């Protein structure tokens, strides 16, 4: 036995103890002996100290220190050990003692600071996992007590603040990782380093998908193969390691939401074309930024809109102020245009990869402050309030640095003449030497009569004199030949050698001294590091605000009124991007009226190309603009603050990942339905388009019903569909209102007015749209005849069922007998009680049944 004190007699019981202890060396082993959990050796010493219990001995020789706690009241002891950062392995008796043979024992559980859940009230069991990913941190939080697992990706500062308020007992991190020193910590917790593979996004995603039997974590709103999925799996894996088995009470992963930002679900930024690099996007439409910092910040503001009223008020006040004061805005923007990217310059300098030009960028920007800062009065003052006085650094850089600076610190020419006497002295030596060389050349030319004598320098021979071939006969004897060229020869002289030594010396001293001075400047800049970072943020924010004010002026945006009503009222709302690219015709403004707890669901019908999708996206963009601090393209607006925007738009194939359109659609829809809140905006555009008509309609129908009453909260919903049958739901649910796109028919032609009106669309105008698109005449004619027949049959069908209740009448015709069965099956399902996997199974079975029905149907012939 390793490490045993001398003289210890190893009894069978002790050997059993040691065997288990060896398996859990990092834990305190609670060894069950009758009514006590006993601890031995170092464990006993440590525990007696932490728990303040007596340290005794097992044997008469006192070579085996021992301490114990009664098994029936072990909880408070466990709690104290865990709070002190210890992990405890609980080793229980698993056979009944018979007085003769040794009782069998086994470790059944490990209690660690992050997984311990106190039996009494109180919090505990908070486990977290964190890995850096590019510029972000992926973070997973697991509350062992409730089984809630959340994961997300955040900028480091935000990840750390979320972590701080979650206050985990343990934090899993990749080996070698350490937290920033200034980490704002609520309680104490313990780092658990694990190898990188423990957090692998790929195998983590696989594990989670298997555990919960889902095709994609997208079902829960978490990206497959993402670092946050890797973190979530790591936390779960660690928990199951300590619990010795499956962790059944963790049933899914939730997207971890920012406490500060509006959540845009995975596909939303893409669907809404927020920051597309190519082509028109919200970014390109708002970007009047004058410097690189502002452009970066604008992107960030677009992708991370705010959740709280106070910081938004500061942004809106600033835009209003800049909009009202045109002169101030113009002067400010001119100065901002001259600002260099000091954020990058500062980080390069502090990383040690900075160049003299980065230093120059600081100087050039600091020079602007005396004229720039006084412009930031009134509503703009919050943006500059915590900045230090930069004049010591600014003055120093102004005095020290040359106007034009080299990229390479070693190439010289950094420090200005007159700044440092020592440097100037060596430079004078160099200049003096150069003057000497001129004079020397003159002298030798005169002495030798070689009028075209030249001086030069190369790396191998240093300084030399060059004589052309024709003049070689006049070369004096003390010239030492060094190199022969085609037309000339090169020589050195003793005077040249002396000169060279002097030059070398001066050169060395100059670069030494310049290097010293440059280092001193770098230190001085490093001293201002935090201030410079804050200044970078301020200049970036001011640039964005001025840009937003500029756009508001150009395009007539107004300030949205924000409150906590949960309403969304807009008159004359316009799509910010579409209105900029429409050239032929003006954009038709539309209004929105969604009430927090009244009519909060819009069911929008209308023909293709009538403007449904645009109407939906406009709502999302108006909210996003308002919550990033911008004014919005509308006549007026009053709205509550939203916390999530979900979008499910069109039939979008995720070919790269090999999922079918329909699968993608269902995964996105499932994710939306499982993450709703009262303050969510849900945009569902043509849900169910990716599958057969009846499947599609059934799903759309069920989803709409769920949103209207089954989802347990009151999200605002904009639902566009080409299934006119759904419009009957308005009568059944007070929260639903039917709207449609106005169409004008004139002389057999149709015109889209892009105007949203009350009521449902009466027809789909599909064939008219087909004509607009240039489908061949015979095809159009045949389609038209078929339509007439279908409509006729539909009418006779509905006549036969005239007695049905009004809210079902028009729709039920679609569902005679066999169809009725499908409908009933659907009606009986309880979506809340289904796992996403079961839901999908049900969908497939419904689809099979529907196809059967369709197969039995006669297609009319002419
Ligand atoms: P739908 O979803 O009904 O098929 P879209 O929203 O895709 O229709 O709109 C089709 C086209 O109509 C858009 O590309 C846009 O150019 C134009 N459009 C949509 N809404 C408006 C509007 N309010 N004013 C002017 N043109 C519009
Ligand atoms: Mg559309």
Secondary structure (DSSP) of 303-368? HS-B--HHHHHHHHHHHHHHHH-HHHHHHHHHHHHH---HHHHHHHHHHT---HHHHHHHHHHHHH
Top pLDDT among 765 and 518 is at 518
Whole-number pLDDT of residue 665: 78
Give phi and psi for 449, each to the nearest 5.
80, 5
Summarize pLDDT for 252-276 with one digit per residue, the tens: 898 887 777 888 776 777 788 888 7
Q: How far is the CA of 320 from the centre of ligand 1 (A)?
A: 31
Top pLDDT among 353 and 129 is at 129
121-135, 603-617, 675-689: the lowest-pLDDT one: 121-135
Is residue 577 in contact with ligand 1, taking CB distance under 6 Å? Answer: no
Q: How far is the CA of 650 from the centre of ligand 2 (A)?
A: 7
- Which residue puts its alpha carbon closest to atom 10 of ligand 1? 609
Look at residue 353 and tell me whether its pLDDT is greater than 80: no
Whole-number pLDDT of residue 794: 65
Is residue 587 in contact with ligand 1, taking CB distance under 6 Å? Answer: yes
Look at residue 309 and tell me whether its pLDDT is greater than 60: yes
Overall pTM surpassing 0.75 (yes/no): no
Look at residue 711 and tell me whether its pLDDT is greater than 70: yes
Residue 582 CA: nearest ligand 1 atom is 16
Is residue 219 in contact with ligand 1, taking CB distance under 6 Å? Answer: no
Q: Kindly list the strands in the beta sheet with 126-133, ordered across the sheet, starting from the edge strand earlier in the chain.
A: 190-194, 170-174, 126-133, 136-143, 148-154, 253-255
Whole-number pLDDT of residue 816: 61
- Which residue puts its alpha carbon closest to atom 9 of ligand 1? 611
Q: What is the mean pLDDT of the chain?
A: 86
Look at residue 184 and tell me whether its pLDDT is greater than 80: no
Is residue 754 in contact with ligand 1, taking CB distance under 6 Å? Answer: yes
Inter-CA distances, 631 with 110, 567, 576, 754, 840, Å: 55, 18, 11, 23, 42
Q: How far is the CA of 610 from the centre of ligand 1 (A)?
A: 6
Q: Sorting pLDDT into bands at 50, 70 and 90, what band is 763?
A: low
Q: How far is the CA of 604 from the centre of ligand 1 (A)?
A: 13
Give ∠ CA 699-700-705 in degrees, rounded to 5: 95
Tell me the sheet residues that pair with 88: 28, 111
User: Which ligand sits nearest to residue 616's alpha carbon?
Assistant: 1
Residue 585 CA: nearest ligand 1 atom is 25
Look at residue 658 and tell me whether its pLDDT is greater than 50: no
Q: Determine contact, residues 452/426, Cβ cutoff 8 Å.
A: no
Pocket mutation for ligand 1, best pick of 608, 611, 752 (most atoms within 8 Å of C-beta): 611
Whole-number pLDDT of residue 686: 86
Q: Sorting pLDDT into bands at 50, 70 and 90, what band is 298?
A: very high
Look at residue 651 and tell me whether its pLDDT is greater than 60: no
Nearest Cα neighbor of 616 from 781, 743, 741 is 741
Stretch 466-480: mean pLDDT, rounded? 87
Whole-number pLDDT of residue 858: 47
Whole-number pLDDT of residue 69: 93
Q: Sorting pLDDT into bands at 50, 70 and 90, what band is 337?
A: very high
User: Which ligand sits nearest to residue 609's alpha carbon?
Assistant: 1
Pocket mutation for ligand 1, best pick of 576, 578, 739 (most atoms within 8 Å of C-beta): 578
Whole-number pLDDT of residue 653: 43
- Percent of the chain's residues with pLDDT above 70: 90
- Percent of the chain's residues with pLDDT above 90: 45
Give ∠ CA 822-828-834 in degrees, rounded to 5: 105
Summarize pLDDT for 846-859 with one digit per residue, the tens: 888 888 777 766 44
Is residue 769 in contact with ligand 1, taking CB distance under 6 Å? Answer: no
Q: How far is the CA of 729 from the centre of ligand 2 (A)?
A: 21
Look at residue 778 and tell me whether its pLDDT is greater than 80: no
Stretch 821-846: mean pLDDT, rounded? 82
Whole-angstrom distance, CA of residue 543 vs CA of residue 283: 14
Look at residue 52 and tell me whether its pLDDT is greater than 50: yes
Is residue 614 in contact with ligand 1, taking CB distance under 6 Å? Answer: yes
Top pLDDT among 807 and 712 is at 712
CB-based burial of residue 535 (10 Å sphere; 0-12 exposed, 13-18 middle, 19+ buried)?
buried
Q: Sorting pLDDT into bands at 50, 70 and 90, what band is 148?
A: confident
Give Cα 257 distance to the centre of its chain.
Answer: 11
Q: How far is the CA of 605 from the centre of ligand 1 (A)?
A: 13
Whole-number pLDDT of residue 207: 95
Q: Determine contact, residues 409/356, Cβ cutoff 8 Å.
A: yes
Nearest Cα neighbor of 708 from 847, 593, 831, 846 is 831
User: Which ligand sits nearest to residue 611's alpha carbon?
Assistant: 1
Q: How far is the CA of 652 from the centre of ligand 2 (A)?
A: 12
Look at residue 723 and tell me whether its pLDDT is greater than 90: no
Q: How far is the CA of 665 from the centre of ligand 1 (A)?
A: 22
- Secondary structure (H, E, C), 176-214: CCCCCCCCCCCCCCEEEEECHHHHCHHHHHHHHHHHHCC
Q: Sorting pLDDT into bands at 50, 70 and 90, what band is 210?
A: very high
Q: Sorting pLDDT into bands at 50, 70 and 90, what band is 620?
A: very high
Q: Sorting pLDDT into bands at 50, 70 and 90, what band is 2?
A: low
Is residue 286 in contact with ligand 1, taking CB distance under 6 Å? Answer: no
Whole-angstrom distance, CA of residue 262 vs CA of residue 284: 21
Stretch 775-790: mean pLDDT, rounded? 78
Residue 616 CA: nearest ligand 1 atom is 6
Token pair recorded at residue 114: 């992050």
Is residue 689 in contact with ligand 1, taking CB distance under 6 Å? Answer: no
The helices-and-strands tally (H runs, E runs) of the chain is 27, 27
Look at residue 811 and tell me whether its pLDDT is greater than 70: no
Is residue 613 in contact with ligand 1, taking CB distance under 6 Å? Answer: yes
Look at residue 509 and tell me whether its pLDDT is greater than 90: yes
Look at residue 117 and tell me whether its pLDDT is greater than 80: no
- Which residue puts its alpha carbon closest to atom 20 of ligand 1? 611
Whole-angstrom distance, CA of residue 200 vs CA of residue 205: 8
- Which residue puts its alpha carbon closest to atom 23 of ligand 1? 588
Residue 685 CA: nearest ligand 1 atom is 2
Q: Sorting pLDDT into bands at 50, 70 and 90, what band is 824?
A: confident
Is residue 608 in contact with ligand 1, taking CB distance under 6 Å? Answer: yes
Q: How far is the CA of 614 from the centre of ligand 1 (A)?
A: 5
Residue 575 CA: nearest ligand 1 atom is 23
Summarize pLDDT for 370-421 with one digit per residue, the tens: 999 999 999 999 999 989 999 999 999 999 999 999 888 888 899 999 999 9
Q: Which residues are close to ligand 2, an ion, with C-beta < 5 A?
A: 612-613
Residue 741 CA: nearest ligand 1 atom is 3
218-232, 537-551, 658-672, 745-759: the lowest-pLDDT one: 658-672
């Amino acid at each position: 036995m390793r490490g045993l004190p001398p003289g210890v007699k190893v009894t069978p019981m002790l050997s059993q103890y040691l065997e288990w202890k060896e398996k859990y060396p990092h834990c305190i082993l609670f060894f069950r002996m009758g009514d006590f959990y006993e601890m031995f050796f170092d464990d006993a010493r440590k525990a007696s100290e932490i728990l303040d219990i007596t340290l005794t001995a097992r044997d008469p020789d006192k070579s085996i220190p021992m301490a114990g706690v009664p098994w029936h009241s072990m909880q408070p002891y466990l709690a104290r050990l865990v709070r002190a950062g210890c992990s405890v392995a609980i080793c229980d008796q698993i056979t009944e003692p018979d007085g003769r043979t040794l009782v069998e024992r086994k470790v059944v559980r490990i209690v660690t600071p992050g997984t311990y859940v106190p039996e009494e009230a109180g919090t505990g069991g908070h486990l977290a996992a964190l890995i850096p990913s590019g510029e972000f941190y992926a973070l997973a939080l697991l509350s062992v007590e409730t089984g809630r697992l959340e994961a997300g990706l955040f900028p480091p500062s935000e990840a750390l603040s979320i972590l701080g308020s979650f206050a985990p007992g343990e934090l899993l991190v990749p080996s070698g990782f350490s937290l920033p020193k200034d980490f704002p910590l609520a309680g104490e917790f313990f780092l658990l380093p694990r190898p990188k593979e423990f957090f692998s996004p790929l195998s983590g995603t696989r594990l989670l998908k298997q555990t919960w039997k889902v095709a994609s974590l997208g079902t829960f709103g978490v990206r497959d193969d993402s670092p946050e999925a890797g973190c979530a799996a790591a936390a779960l894996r660690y928990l199951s390691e300590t619990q010795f088995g499956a962790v059944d009470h963790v049933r899914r992963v939730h997207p971890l939401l920012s406490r500060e930002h509006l959540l845009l679900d995975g596909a939303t930024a893409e669907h809404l074309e927020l920051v597309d690099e190519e082509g028109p996007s919200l970014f390109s439409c708002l970007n009047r930024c004058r410097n690189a910092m502002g452009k970066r910040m604008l992107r960030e503001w677009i992708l991370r809109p705010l959740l709280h009223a106070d910081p938004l008020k500061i942004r809106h006040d600033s835009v209003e102020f800049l909009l009202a004061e045109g002169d101030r805005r113009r002067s400010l923007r001119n100065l901002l245009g001259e600002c260099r990217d000091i954020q990058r310059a500062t980080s390069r300098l502090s990383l040690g990869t900075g160049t003299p030009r980065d230093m120059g960028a600081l100087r050039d920007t600091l020079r602007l402050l005396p004229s720039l800062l006084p412009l930031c009065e009134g509503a703009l003052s919050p943006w500059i309030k915590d900045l230090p006085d930069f004049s010591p650094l600014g003055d120093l850089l102004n005095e020290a640095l040359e106007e034009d600076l080299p990229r390479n610190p070693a190439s010289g020419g950094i420090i200005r003449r007159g700044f440092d006497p020592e440097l100037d002295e060596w430079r004078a030596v160099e200049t003096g030497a150069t003057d000497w060389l001129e004079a020397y050349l003159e002298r030798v030319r005169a002495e030798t009569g070689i009028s075209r004598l030249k001086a030069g320098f190369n790396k191998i021979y240093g300084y030399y004199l060059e004589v052309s071939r024709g003049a070689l006969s006049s070369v004096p004897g003390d010239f030492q030949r060094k190199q022969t060229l085609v037309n000339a020869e090169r020589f050195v002289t003793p005077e040249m050698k002396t000169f060279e030594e002097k030059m070398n010396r001066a050169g060395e001293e100059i670069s030494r001294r310049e290097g010293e001075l440059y280092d001193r400047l770098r230190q001085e800049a490093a001293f201002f590091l935090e201030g410079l970072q804050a200044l970078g943020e301020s200049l970036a924010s001011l640039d964005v605000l001025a840009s937003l004010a500029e756009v508001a002026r150009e395009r007539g945006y107004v300030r949205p009124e924000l409150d906590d009503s949960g309403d969304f009222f807009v008159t004359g709302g316009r799509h910010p991007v579409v209105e900029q690219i429409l050239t032929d015709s003006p954009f038709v403004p539309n209004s929105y009226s969604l009430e927090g707890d009244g009519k909060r669901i819009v069911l929008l019908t209308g023909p293709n190309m009538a403007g449904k999708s645009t109407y939906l996206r406009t709502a999302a963009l108006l909210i996003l603009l308002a919550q990033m601090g911008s004014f919005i393209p509308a006549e007026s607006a009053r709205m509550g603050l939203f916390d999530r925007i979900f979008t499910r738009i069109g039939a979008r194939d995720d070919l790269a990942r090999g999922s079918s359109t329909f699968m993608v659609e269902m995964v996105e829809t499932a994710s939306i339905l499982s993450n709703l809140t009262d303050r969510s905006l849900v945009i569902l555009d043509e849900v169910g388009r990716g599958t057969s008509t009846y499947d599609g309609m059934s799903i759309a129908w069920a989803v709409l019903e769920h949103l209207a009453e089954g989802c347990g909260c009151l999200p605002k919903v904009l639902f566009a569909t080409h299934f006119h049958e759904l419009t009957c739901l308005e009568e059944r649910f007070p929260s639903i209102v039917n709207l449609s796109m106005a169409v004008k028919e004139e002389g057999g032609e149709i015109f889209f007015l892009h105007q949203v009106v009350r009521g449902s669309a009466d027809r789909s105008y599909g064939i008219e749209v087909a004509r607009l698109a240039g489908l061949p005449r015979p095809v159009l004619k045949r389609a038209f005849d078929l339509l007439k027949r279908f409509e006729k049959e539909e009418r006779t069908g509905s006549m036969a069922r005239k007695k049905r209740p009004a809210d079902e009448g028009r729709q039920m015709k679609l569902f005679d007998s066999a169809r009725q069965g499908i409908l009933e099956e659907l009606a009986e399902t309880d979506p809340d009680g289904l796992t996403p996997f079961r839901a999908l199974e049900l969908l497939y079975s419904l689809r099979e049944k529907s196809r059967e029905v369709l197969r039995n149907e006669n297609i009319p012939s002419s």
